[in-house]
Amino acid sequence: MAWSDKVKNEVLVKCGRHCCICHKFCGIKIELHHIIHKSEGGKENVENCIPLCFDCHADQRSYDHNHPKGTKYSREELKRHREKWYKMVGQNLGTGNIDHLEQDIATFKVIFETIPTNSIAHLREWDFGRRWFSMIPIRPLQLLNLKIKNEPWIEFFDSDLESLKLNLIDLITDFEARMVKDTFYYRDGNPDSHCIPREWSEPHSGNYQPERYENAVKFFNDKADEISEAYVDFVILSRRKLGVII
């Protein structure tokens, strides 16, 4: 027996189609997880259901009890994650809670001041394939990610803004992970400048890897556009919801 339409409608509205663990907006890419498995007597009702993204749902299904690695989510933890997120979605801005509004404004300012708009504009305009060394203006992104990781209190009460923030951070994380793999420091190890190795594109360099070079160029160009678009969406909605003037 599958989840009933009544249960689906209720839990998807309560979570706003966001994952209850990582808070990412999922759209149609969302799954309903049994907190207590059906094989263990779990029912298919609202109380036993937690909406999750594909990745978080895979974490629940892939844990190997015979060879445990890491720490499994307990039933109580899943319920608390769910109730915390349902509450955030339910009390979204518009309720008139001035404390939440002020804290969300402060959170926005931390992010906005850490990564200036002109840095995003620079990233948007950069063409990694045309530059001789394909330099990457990465420093502002590192600063933003470092700030978020070191300050766990930077979380929006507004679920829409929190989702956009998480999407932006995920894109930056992907960018940085690929940077470690396919770039090196340029100008005597300057941490502000990275480049895709030029010799990958030169047939007589001794390290000719044209496919890797083209894949790297495409990835950084595409990801730079995605980061720019995500940042713009984040700033526009923040200004509309929070009334901030920048």
Closest CA to 218 of 121, 145, 134: 134
pLDDT (tens digit, 9 = 90+) per residue, 156-165?
888 888 888 8
Question: In the chain, pLDDT over 90 holds for what percent of residues?
Answer: 24
Residue 52 to residue 42: CA distance in whole angstroms: 17
Residue 146 to residue 110: CA distance in whole angstroms: 12
Judged on CB neighbours under 10 Å (0-12, 13-18, 19+), 137 is: middle
pLDDT (tens digit, 9 = 90+) per residue, 104-119?
888 898 888 877 677 7
Least confident of 68-77, 160-169, 235-244: 68-77
Q: How confident is the prediction for the chain on average, in pLDDT?
A: 80
pLDDT (tens digit, 9 = 90+) per residue, 38-59?
888 889 999 999 999 998 898 8
Q: What is the model's pLDDT at position 94?
A: 42
Residue 186 to residue 168: CA distance in whole angstroms: 26
The domains of the chain are located at: 5-90, 98-242
Closest CA to 29 of 47, 51, 45: 51
* Higher local confidence (pLDDT), 130 or 30: 30
Decide the pairing of beta strands 135-136 and 184-186. Answer: unpaired
* Higher local confidence (pLDDT), 68 or 160: 160
Q: What is the model's pLDDT at position 149?
A: 57
* Higher local confidence (pLDDT), 35 or 143: 35
Q: What is the pTM of this model?
A: 0.67
Question: What is Dmax (Cα atoms) for the chain?
Answer: 66
Residue 33 DSSP one-character state: E
Q: Is the pLDDT of residue 65 over 60?
A: no
